[in-house]
Each structure stands twice: as structure tokens, then as C-alpha cells.
Amino acid sequence: MNVSEPGPELQKEMNFRRFFRNAEWKLRFAVLPHHCAISNKLLWYTYAYRGRQTITGPGTPVYVDEWLCKEEYLLKVLKETK
């Protein structure tokens, strides 16, 4: 039986799920413009959730940030906690 690779949309969803579980999420005020990672809404001068994942290694740490609007964050939390 030959198992094929997941499609690009499924791969993107799997990567975001991993990021969502490992990141530290905080409600922040977005002074600079950002886009929601799921809905692509513009987040500017509004409260939104910022997820920050720290990647450490032999050099300086690298921070990866993703932003979610409050509605998408709530839906993601409800879907992930079963």
C-alpha cells in the first residue's frame, strides 16, 4: 500500500496545529499592522492574540510570531481542547 504525502493545505494545517500547541499565547494590543494567520484579517489598533514560539540553538534564540484575531483564537481553543 502506497501512502502519499499530504497536500499543501493539510500540511499547512498540521504545522499550525503544532505551532498552536507549542507557542505561548498572550492578548496584546496590535499597534503595528499584522494579519490574522487564519482569516487574514487586518489587525491594527485592536486587541489580538500573539503566539510566540522560541527556537533555541547554539546561537541567539529565534522568535516566531503569529497573530490571531480574538474570534479565531477562541474557535481554535475550542477545537483543540476535546
pLDDT given at position 3: 59
Whole-number pLDDT of residue 79: 87
pLDDT for the residue numbered 2:
52
pLDDT for the residue numbered 1: 44
Q: Which residues of the chain are modeled with pLDDT < 70?
A: 1-4, 82
pTM of the model: 0.82
- In the chain, where the domains are located: 24-80
The pLDDT, as a whole number, for residue 43 is 97
Residue whose C-alpha cell reads 484575531 in the numeric block:
69
- Smallest CA-to-CA distance from 17 within 63, 69, 71, 66 is with 66
pLDDT in tens, 28-45: 999 999 999 999 999 999
Contact 19, 66 (CB under 8 A): yes
Predicted pLDDT of residue 30? 97
